[in-house]
A and B are shown apart, each in its own frame.
Chain A
Amino acid sequence: SAVISQKPSRDICQRGTSLTIQCQVDSQVTMMFWYRQQPGQSLTLIATANQGSEATYESGFVIDKFPISRPNLTFSTLTVSNMSPEDSSIYLCSVRRGTGREQYFGPGTRLTVT
C-alpha cells in the first residue's frame, strides 16, 4: 500500500471563498485521483491528476471550479473554488503505484461550507 496524508483534515469555510487541499504520498506513485463523497453517498471521481500536465476531469466537473495541480510524483492539490453549501463533502485523494491495479485512499478532508 502507500502512506497518504491530506491537509487539512477538515475545514469550515464561508460561501464564495476557495480552499486548497493537499495530498502527499510517502513514495512515488503513477496515478493520483481526487474523489468527492457527499453526505450519505458513495464516491464520485472528480479528476485524474496528471503529473506535469492538465488534469483529466470527469463529466460534471470543470477546471474552473476544481483546479488541480500535480507538480511531481508524490504531491497533488485540489482547490474547491467559489464554494457554495453544495460543495460540503469529504474530498479524498487516491493513488495507484507502479503498474498495480489496486488503489488506496488518503484519510480525506471534510469540508463544510456555510
Chain B
Amino acid sequence: QKEVEQNSGPLSVPEGAIASLNCTYSDRGSQSFFWYRQYSGKSPELIMSIYSNGDKEDGRFTAQLNKASQYVSLLIRDSQPSDSATYLCAVNMAAGNKLTFGGGTRVLVKP
C-alpha cells in the first residue's frame, strides 16, 4: 500500500462545475496536509494547507480533512480552464519531519 494515494485521473470537469479530488494516507499519526498545483513544465505551487479536521476555504478552493478516515480532499468551485493542472496531495507523516507526496491527479477543465 502506498503511503499517500490519489486517483491519477484525468478528471474531466466542465467549466463552472465543481472538481472534487481525493487523497488517502496510511500514517494515522500524520498532522499536516497540503495540496499543490503543478502546471506542465512548472514546479509545484502550494495552494492549500490543512491541519485540523473539517473544512478550510480559500477563494474557490476548499480543503476537507477527516483524520479518522485518513482522508483529505480538495474541492475547486467554479472550475476554470486555467485550473487544468496536476494536483498533488502531500502529507507530513508522524515519523520524520518531511513531506510524502501522492502520485497526483490530473484535472482537465473543458470550456
- Nearest to B104 among chain A residues (CB) is A42
In the complex, which residues of chain B have a beta carbon less than 8 angstroms from the beta carbon of A90?
Answer: 43
Contact in complex: A42, B34 (CB < 8 Å): no
Contact in complex: A92, B46 (CB < 8 Å): no
Contact in complex: B102, A42 (CB < 8 Å): yes
Please encode chain A, from 17 to 33, with 1 for each CB lying within 8 Å of some chain B CB and 0 for all others.
00000000000000101
Contact in complex: B46, A43 (CB < 8 Å): no
A1 to B49, CA, bound (A): 13
In the complex, which residues of chain B have a beta carbon less than 8 angstroms from the beta carbon of A102?
Answer: 34, 46, 49
In the complex, which residues of chain B have a beta carbon less than 8 angstroms from the beta carbon of A13?
Answer: none
A42-B102, A43-B101 in contact; A103/B43 too (CB < 8 A)? no
- Nearest to B100 among chain A residues (CB) is A45
Contact in complex: B88, A101 (CB < 8 Å): no
In the complex, which residues of chain B have a beta carbon less than 8 angstroms from the beta carbon of A92?
Answer: 43-44
In the complex, which residues of chain B have a beta carbon less than 8 angstroms from the beta carbon of A76?
Answer: none
Q: Is A67 an interface residue (CB 8 A)?
A: no
CB distance from B104 to the nearest CB of A (A): 5
Q: Is B92 an interface residue (CB 8 A)?
A: yes
Which residues 83-98 of B have a CB within 8 angstroms of A? Answer: 88, 90, 92, 97-98
Q: Is A48 an interface residue (CB 8 A)?
A: yes
In the complex, which residues of chain B have a beta carbon less than 8 angstroms from the beta carbon of A104?
Answer: 46
CB distance from A40 to the nearest CB of B (A): 10
Contact in complex: A31, B104 (CB < 8 Å): no
- Return the contact of B99 from the options A1, A41, A45, A107 (Cβ within 8 A): A45
A24 to B45, CA, bound (A): 17
List chain B positions with a Cβ less than 8 A from chain A.
32, 34, 36, 42-46, 49, 51, 88, 90, 92, 97-104
Supply 26 A–B pairs (Cβ within 8 Å), ascending by A: A1-B46, A41-B103, A42-B102, A42-B104, A43-B44, A43-B88, A43-B101, A45-B98, A90-B43, A101-B32, A101-B49, A101-B51, A101-B92, A102-B34, A102-B46, A103-B34, A103-B90, A103-B99, A104-B46, A105-B36, A105-B46, A106-B43, A107-B42, A107-B43, A108-B42, A108-B43
